[in-house]
Amino acid sequence: MILPIVTEPNPLLRQKAQPLKKISKRIRKLAQNMLETMYAADGVGLAGPQVGVGERIIVVDVGNGPLTLINPEIISNMGQERDVEGCLSIPGRNGYVTRAAKVKVTGVNLDGRRIELESEGFLARALQHEIDHLEGILFIDYLDRAGGEAD
Ligand code: NI
């Protein structure tokens, strides 16, 4: 099921999402709907708050298959990289954002298993962007520091 995507300046995007205690049937269904919604919108990532769910769940697919992470956390990062980003919640805008070049992320998958993921490049960027959503942070918050809007 395709869910409506919350767009800026909806205050839901600025709320801090809550940790999930249990991987229930509802969460598995939510993850499936979030992936469907992301693919339908031609996106590479989506976070709970973007579909009006204030819980710590993200989905990402940068071309290597779908990834769902519950309660994701960045446990280490390395280097810096500046590249163009957009966001399904901020249609029609993009800009340069400087982020860590590599991140190690931990979280729980839909089987309830803790996983650890080392990422770089576009995947690392997408993970950082989606985890930011769980803190109420949007990529446009970085634009001043990063040097402005792309065309
Ligand atoms: Ni986004």
Domain residue extents for the chain = 22-146
Give me the residues near ligand 1 (ion), CB cutoff below 5 Å: 87
Give distance in angstroms: CA of 116 to centre of ligand 1.
22
Among residues 55, 81, 85, 130, which one is catalytic? 130
Give distance in angstroms: CA of 63 to centre of ligand 1.
17
| pLDDT mean values, one per 10 residues, the chain (151 residues) | 98 98 97 98 98 98 97 98 96 94 98 97 98 98 66 52
Is there a catalytic annotation at residue 130?
yes
Question: Which residue is it, tokens 């998958």?
Answer: 109
Superfamily per CATH, domain 22-146 = Peptide deformylase (3.90.45.10)
Per DSSP, helices labelled H in the chain are 25-40, 121-134, 143-146
